[in-house]
Structure 1
Amino acid sequence: MSLTFTHIDQQGKANMVDVTQKLLSIRVARAQGYIKMQASTIELIKTNALSKGDIFAVARIAGIQAAKKCADLIPLCHPLMLSKVDVQFEIDESQHRVKIEALCKLTGQTGVEMEALTAVSVAALTLFDMAKAVDPLMQIQDIKVMEKQGGKTGEWSRTHD
């Protein structure tokens, strides 16, 4: 299988892909990642006992805002009119971590994988920022696209996380 980089022109220069001729289709991407922390930090989050308040609410908004600003952060991303961004959190006490999942959706000419990854990344950074006073050794881990739908490559998903 021959791979070509779509963001490089024939002279090897950075290039924003021209999507003008692509057909509109429903595009969906789901990404996830984790932030590992001490068990005591998990307990503080569960009981809403951190001094900064409900960190999931703030991180959710940060993730949504980040997805909307993805083209401002990543140079060759197209600005997109997202129709849905959802950011969710799941505490995994046995692994001392929080799972972060983002879903991005639109009807458009290019995919939303970067927006979903950006939402997860910024939500994780926000969790870190809000809990770093009690747990500066937290680790953001394993951010990846879990599934995508739409476009010429169609649908795919990871079989496991």
Structure 2
Amino acid sequence: MAQMVDVTNKPIIYREAVASGEIKLREETIKRILNKEIEKGDVEAVASVASIMAAKDASKIIPLAHPLPITGVSVNFSYDKNTVKITVKVKTKAETGVEMDALAGVTAGLLAVWDMVKQYEKDSLGMYPNTMITNVKVESKIKKED
């Protein structure tokens, strides 16, 4: 039987989590993103909004996660030759942590990137031999009482 963890008696304190993940892409696709040559639009803008929306609504897609009063979400991008890395920081004042919210934000952002660039990543069979989401992880957690 599944059940949500009861956090009724836990104190409301400041909590923060940072999560990150990467999407491997063709070098040409990375150049298109950086030069703002993606037909669907600005990849960072769309992926940022996807990350923020997912962080705010994590409890709607993760069945036993608590809905939390998210007080802040920031999204950052970094690049190398074949990779886009997204880092999401989520903040709250609540009885439980925001690592699931940060992970939801990262994965939604990475999926948005994939959706934005998929036409450039497909091979002749319509498959994605070079495209891969990897290294999704929690980088850090903070729990700070006043």
TM-score by length of 2: 0.92
Match of 2:38 in 1: 50
2:130 is equivalent to residue 148 of structure 1? no
The runs of 5 or more residues in structure 1 that have no matched partner are 1-12, 153-161
Aligned-partner Cα distance in 2 for 1:121–1:92: 19
From 93, 111, 132, the counterpart of 1:139: 132
CA deviation after TM superposition for structure 1 residue 86, in Å: 0.8
- Where does residue 101 of structure 1 map in the other structure? 87
Q: Indicate which of 85, 91, 114 corresponds to 2:100.
A: 114
Instruction: Choose the corresponding residue for 2:52, options 33, 58, 64.
Output: 64
8 Å CA contact 1:30–1:116 kept in 2: the answer is: yes
How many residue pairs were aligned? 138
Aligned to 1:19: 7
Partner residue in 1 for 2:125: none
Structure 1's consecutive aligned runs of 4 or more residues displaced over 2 angstroms after TM superposition are none
Q: Relative contact order, CA 8 A, sep 6+: which one is greater?
A: 2
Contact 1:110 1:151 in 2 (8 A): no
Give the aligned partner of residue 80 of structure 1: 68
Q: Percent identity?
A: 41
Instruction: Give the counterpart letter for 1:122 in structure 2.
Output: A
User: Residue 155 of structure 1 corresponds to which residue in structure 2?
Assistant: none
- Residues 109 and 151 in structure 1, CA contact (< 8 A), matched pair in contact too: no
Q: 1:127 corresponds to which residue?
A: 113
Q: What CA deviation, in whole Å up to 9, does each residue of 1:56-114 have, x standing for no partner?
A: 10000000000111000000011111000111111112xx1011100000111000000
1:34–1:143 contact (8 Å) kept in structure 2:
yes
Uncovered stretches (5+) of structure 2, i.e. residues with no partner: 123-127
Report the counterpart of residue 35 of structure 1 in structure 2: 23
The structure with the greater share of residues assigned to strand is 2
State the shift of 1:151 in Å.
6.9
